[in-house]
Each structure stands twice: as C-alpha cells, then as structure tokens.
Structure 1
C-alpha cells in the first residue's frame, strides 16, 4: 500500500504522500525526499478565502486589517473557499483536501512582533536625574498611518504596576538618541494596582516632576546603555492633577505608618510667635546649657480627628512625633534683650535654625480602635 501511494504521487520519487492524523481528521502532506528535492521542486499553495463581514468593521481594506492584527497579535478568522497545491507551479492533487477545507477552522496568524525594548524611564531637571521606573518592556501597540504616529507601551509586561504609553511622531525618530519635539506620553496605574502604595507614589512623583519647566524625559536602552528617546517638549493625556502634592504627602504618610519608618527631610528656619515671657526664658535657658551649639528636639502633636484619606479609605492617626536632629536659637543674645524688655501682651518671634545637622524625622502613629 505504501509503495502504491509512492507511485501515485505525480512527483514520485521526489515527493510522497504522508498521512497526518489530527484528532479525528486525516491530513495529507506532500513530503519531499530530501532538501535538494524541495529546492528543485518547490511546493506552494494557492487558494481563495473570504473575510466575514464583521471582521472588516472599522477597516477600509484588508491591509489595514492585517496590520491591526499584527500590532495586536490577533488571529483573523477567515472562510476558506478553495485551496490547491502546486509543485514547480503545476497543480497537483491532494487527497482529502476538500474535506479539510470544509471541516476546519481557518485563520491568518500574524507574524510575531520584534522583541520588546528593555528601557529605563528617567526625568532630568537641572543637573539632577530621577529614576522613575528602572525596568520597562516596551513594544509596538499601535500605528496611525494617517497621522504618522507609532505608539509603544508596556501593556505586555506582566509585573509592571504602571502602564506607560509613548506616542512618537515617526518624522522625529532618528537611528540613535532620538530627540522628540512633539511626543505624547501617557502614564497611568494599571487597574489591578490602583490601591498599591508603590504604584501611586511612583505615579505622583513622576507627575510632580513633569510640572517643572526644565524637565527632560529619557528612555534609556538597558541593553546598549544608549538613550532610546529624549523628550524635551511633550504633553500628557488629559487628567486631573490638581492635588498632586497633597496626594503625594498622603502616600508618604501611609507608607510610613505601614513600615513604621519615619519620613526624613531637611529642616529650614522654624519660627515661633510667643507671648509668654516665661516660656521664652525657658527656651533661652534650655539652649544656653550647651552654649547654643545645637540641641535635639522632640515635638509631639495630637490633632482632633487626624486622618489620611486615600484609595477610597480613611486611616485614622493618633499622633505625629517630629524629631529635629539639631536646632539652635537664631541671634540668642538679641532674643535675651528682647525678652528682658518684653511688655505684657507683646508677641516676640523666636527663630530656630539648624545647628550641626538639618535633618528632621516625622513619625506617624495610626490609631487602632
């Protein structure tokens, strides 16, 4: 039976028929005897198919449909009308092919996209560079032929909490270190990470940096350490960013409460408006003990119903403890003279300035009911 099948192939001995079972169906392949036979007698297929009307919605022609499927890596379902095999351009019979056409599901599979770009997103303002996202996997997500824009994003990056999209005008892209004059950047928190402290902190931090006038956005290629894109003039998709600073402060406080670590920053001049003469004398005596060379100061405050409102939740706070590493009284001798001449009801400004250190820690304590 095998020999008979071999003889029956019109291009035997260069080709034989090979039966391939797939489930309850049998397919017949044309199998070349060798690589040389495949090259001398090339096999090809030709046919006709229809695209269901619903698949063409939103597309003016099949090229646009195939391009969209390539960008989105989607299969296009088709109705196969006819299909036949050719060897060296000559039509050859393929057993059971009509049954295969009738009973099978046919699709156009897109070519795989190029490997994603491994990038680092940073913001540069003045002489400082701030890392926003250390690792991004960016790949092509859309191409607008009418407006000549290409969009890349990290939607396929599994563990990234932020979705970063970059719409690039093709005319501005150079081979290396592309400098964009009209880039459009969209950064948002992915839906399942809306309640993530880290995601919100990174997002708000970036949006605050973007408000600076001298900001430059860079996407550095982590493979060759070259700048993939540099954007000086760019804009963001519409969004309400009016409360960025207060939102960022709330995120910092919440992070501090959870981690039980203080928020650290630099202290500047602290001004106290005091009308209590004895209170001022106590301050002077306290700082005079070490020659006004700087003292650590701990201040504890309790405010009625303090709370953080974030992520549609309210976190009650019990108290705030502020620890100054080193403070000293500004112009302490002048303050002594003012205190001596102070009249009843008079308000005197007492300025406290950094001593040997300008560091301050803020400890937030949650109230558990």
Structure 2
C-alpha cells in the first residue's frame, strides 16, 4: 500500500503537481511558441492554424484605435513588427494616419540651403533628385491622437533604415508650337517644342518653363511667367496674355545649324516689327500663353536680318540639293558668298555673268603657242576654259562640279614678247601668256554638277 506525500512548490511560473503518475510522461509547455511548435511537430496542423488565427485576431483587437485600426504583422529584415492599417477607406479619411518626423538633410547639394524646406522640395522636384536625410525620431498620429507604438514598422525603420525624400513625379512635357499672329492665317515659326517646368523662383515670383531636356530641338526656348498670373489663369484651363516673357536661342551644340539660325532670325525679325506670338498646345489646340514681351540674345537691325535671311534661304536650298549639312562660321567671307552663288547657279541652271581684268594661260608646245600668236591677228579672240571644281563651304566639301568660263573678247597683252618666247622655246618648255580684254571685258561662267558617279 502506497503512502501519499504532500508536494509543495514555490516561486514557479507554472505550478505542477503529479501524484501516482504510474511512470506517465509529462511535457510542460509554458509559452504560445512552445505550444505552436508542439502542435506542428505532432501533426495537428488544423489546430495550429486555428491557434495562429486566435493570436492574429488578438493582435488586431489590441490596437489603441480599435475598431478603426488594426495591427498587421510585417517583416523587416529578420524581424517581425506591426504596421497600422485602417479597416476601410472611410476610416482612413475620418482618422488619417500621420507621422511627424525630426530629421536633418544629409545630401550636400541641399544641406547648405538657406531657403525654406518647401523651396528645397520644389528644387528637388524640378531636378528629380532624391534627398538623403538622417531620421532622428518619428511620432505616429491617428487623427488628433498621438500613438505610443514602439516596435512598429515606422519606429523600427528609424533605427535601421536609410531614409530619402523621393521627388514628386513631374508631369510630362507640354508639346507646343510657336505661331505668329496674322490677319488671315497664323504662321508657324517653330513647330515642335517640349516645355517642362525648370524653375520656381519665389523671390522673383516667377515660374520658368524650358525645353533644355529636349535633345531633338536645336533651339532653347525659355518661358518665364509671373507666378501670380499663372496661378490665376491655370484654373481656367489655359493662359491668355499672362504676364510672361520668352527667350529663344540656339543650343551650344547647334550654333552653326542653318535651319535653326533661319527660324531664330524669323522670330527676331518679327519681334522687331512688334509682332505678337502665341504658344499653342499641340495636343489640345489651345493657347498656352500669348507673348508680347521678348528677351532676345541677338543684336540686329531689320535690314541686316532681311539680308541674312536671303543668304540663309540659299543655304537651306543648297543643303537639300547636295545632301549636306553646313555649320556656319561666325564670320562669313567674300569667298563664301561666291561659293553660294556658284552652287545656286547649278540648282537654278543659269550662268553667272562677270568681268575680268586679265587672263593667264600656259602653253606647253610650240604648236599651241604659234596658234595663239597667229590667232591674235584676227579681229575677235574668244576663249572657253573648262575645268573641274571643288567647293569648300562651311565644313563641307562638294565635288563633281565642272566649270566652263567663256571670255568673249581678249587679246595678247604683249604680242612681240610672245613671238620672242616662241623663237626661243624648246620642246617640253612651258611658256606663260597674259591676255587682256579686247573691245569688252565680259566673262560668262557656267557650272554643272556631274557628281562623283558621272
């Protein structure tokens, strides 16, 4: 007969008393993790899932703003933390989740700024920069209630995460064209420009748009709009006669572009004539702004511009015909003008008239020299000289050109000297002769483009 003994335990988390166990095995579980592990190891998956669900529901109901918000477990690295989740969209509006942060700007580009934080954000947005910051502390607010939520996602991120302020995405560029106002039909000056926000200057109270990011355009178009005028007018869907200025120039890499210079000169010429321009949205057909004030990076008079435009139109025609692209020099020489006239005469199939003071020829045989001396005795002395010509113009070389020069009336400048040279001439010797105008000094020059294949 067994004797019962009294069992006494003190200072234990779990009090267990076993009497007459008859060698039974006892396993003590004193935490939810141990209990879940035991269920999983014993194959009680359904019971384990139900247990997890109870824990999850418990964590949800434990939120300080329950039933409006619940805790949702989130993994961050190897840790699991909780995040605040509203139960529906309306709750998120009635009790908005907000964070108040204390941080310093690490980014050297912006850390030295003396402007306001809003202005720093504007600059970063325009440049599409990410601003690196050092997050020191963060407070969680739901509605007007401050939440003590140590161990949540945001509070844990303060300790371990790298923080950056991401720029707000800029809207796509506005596609516009610049048109000149006309009584009958508007005339397009520059057809396709992509304007993007490039600066907001709060001190000057202006907003600046430009197309500096548009690689396809040789022109740099900058539109400066009074901020107050812009804010007032943008609510109407378009800007009409806003207080604005435009500046058009040629980008550095396109300084010698003929077509770009031509369009800029057209714009400048019409501004000097006090012509109004409109920037028209190509997608909507509506006016973006009407321009009446201009900043022009070019000093010019109307007469000089008109003269330059005539020259540029010739170059555009030559580029198209000969399939070349010129890069115009800042200083245009007399030889450049002569080359342009020659190439235009080929395109227009016409001869060039001119005069001459003298003609120098070389004779390489006694027979040819004798013929020139005898021919000099006749009343009319006519020459035609043909040769191949190579044109070098504004960085381009045009070959395959034949030149024909017709001298209508010439005579030997010194016949007696030519006769003496004939008398002393030996085979293989070269004799130079000089001819001067006879009864007139007219010269006709004809150029043909044969090209390299023919």
Give the direction of change, closer, same or farther, for the CA distance of 1:47–1:72 in structure 2 (3 Å limit).
same
Give the direction of change, closer, same or farther, for the CA distance of 1:139–1:273 in structure 2 (3 Å limit).
closer
Q: How many residues align?
A: 307
Give the direction of change, closer, same or farther, for the CA distance of 1:151–1:26 in structure 2 (3 Å limit).
farther
Unpaired runs of at least 5, structure 2: 1-54, 325-342, 357-378, 404-437
How many angstroms apart in 2 are the aligned matches of 1:266 and 1:227?
Answer: 40
- What corresponds to 2:6 in structure 1? none
Give the direction of change, closer, same or farther, for the CA distance of 1:21–1:43 in structure 2 (3 Å limit).
same
Aligned partner (choices 277, 290, 296) of residue 236 of structure 1 = 296
By how many angstroms is 1:85 displaced?
1.6
Give the direction of change, closer, same or farther, for the CA distance of 1:247–1:317 in structure 2 (3 Å limit).
farther
1:259-309 deviations in whole A, cap 9, x for unaligned?
8xx979998x9984689x9899xxxxxxxxxxxxxxxxxxxx967541122
Aligned partner (choices 162, 183, 187) of residue 249 of structure 2 = 187
For the Cα contact (< 8 Å) 1:189–1:203, is it kept in 2?
A: no
How many angstroms apart in 2 are the aligned matches of 1:233 and 1:189?
Answer: 21
For the Cα contact (< 8 Å) 1:116–1:138, is it kept in 2?
A: yes
Residues 1-369 of structure 1 correspond to what in structure 2 (within 5 A)? Answer: 1-21=55-75, 28-52=82-106, 54=108, 55-92=110-147, 93-96=149-152, 97-123=154-180, 129-157=186-214, 159-160=216-217, 162-170=219-227, 175=233, 178-179=240-241, 183-189=245-251, 191=253, 194=254, 200-212=257-269, 213-214=272-273, 215-237=275-297, 249-250=314-315, 252-258=317-323, 272=353, 304-310=389-395, 314-319=396-401, 345-346=439-440
By how many angstroms is 1:111 displaced?
3.3
How many angstroms apart in 2 are the aligned matches of 1:349 and 1:84?
Answer: 93
The secondary structure found in structure 2 opposite 1:12 is coil
How many angstroms apart in 1 are the aligned matches of 2:295 and 2:245?
Answer: 7
Higher relative strand content: 1
Q: Greater relative contact order (Cα 8 A, min sep 6): structure 1 or 2?
A: 1
How many angstroms apart in 2 are the aligned matches of 1:27 and 1:365?
Answer: 82
Give the direction of change, closer, same or farther, for the CA distance of 1:125–1:89 in structure 2 (3 Å limit).
closer
Q: Name which of structure 1's ranges 17-26 and 222-231 shifts more when overlaid on structure 2.
A: 17-26
Give the direction of change, closer, same or farther, for the CA distance of 1:172–1:50 in structure 2 (3 Å limit).
closer
How many angstroms apart in 2 are the aligned matches of 1:132 and 1:234?
Answer: 15
How many angstroms apart in 1 are the aligned matches of 2:206 and 2:190?
Answer: 24
1:91-130 deviations in whole A, cap 9, x for unaligned?
2215244431122122223333345323112345897754
Higher relative helix content: 2
| TM-score of the two chains, using structure 2 as the length reference | 0.53
Give the direction of change, closer, same or farther, for the CA distance of 1:14–1:167 in structure 2 (3 Å limit).
closer
The secondary structure found in structure 1 opposite 2:266 is helix
RMSD, matched Cα:
4.8
How many angstroms apart in 2 are the aligned matches of 1:113 and 1:77?
Answer: 19
The secondary structure found in structure 2 opposite 1:63 is helix
Give the direction of change, closer, same or farther, for the CA distance of 1:274–1:184 in structure 2 (3 Å limit).
closer
1:51-105 deviations in whole A, cap 9, x for unaligned?
2373233543323212212333323222111112222322221524443112212
By how many angstroms is 1:152 displaced?
0.6
By how many angstroms is 1:142 displaced?
0.7
| TM-score of the two chains, using structure 1 as the length reference | 0.64
For the Cα contact (< 8 Å) 2:229–2:243, is it kept in 1?
A: yes
How many angstroms apart in 2 are the aligned matches of 1:24 and 1:247?
Answer: 70
Unpaired runs of at least 5, structure 1: 281-300, 322-343, 351-361
How many angstroms apart in 2 are the aligned matches of 1:279 and 1:27?
Answer: 108
For the Cα contact (< 8 Å) 1:308–1:317, is it kept in 2?
A: no
By how many angstroms is 1:185 displaced?
0.9
- What corresponds to 2:18 in structure 1? none
By how many angstroms is 1:249 displaced?
4.7
The secondary structure found in structure 1 opposite 2:257 is helix
Give the direction of change, closer, same or farther, for the CA distance of 1:125–1:60 in structure 2 (3 Å limit).
same
Q: Name which of structure 1's ranges 142-151 and 234-243 shifts more when overlaid on structure 2.
A: 234-243
For the Cα contact (< 8 Å) 1:201–1:252, is it kept in 2?
A: no
For the Cα contact (< 8 Å) 2:390–2:397, is it kept in 1?
A: no
How many angstroms apart in 2 are the aligned matches of 1:363 and 1:23?
Answer: 79
Which structure is larger by alpha-carbon Rg, 1 or 2?
2
The secondary structure found in structure 2 opposite 1:178 is coil
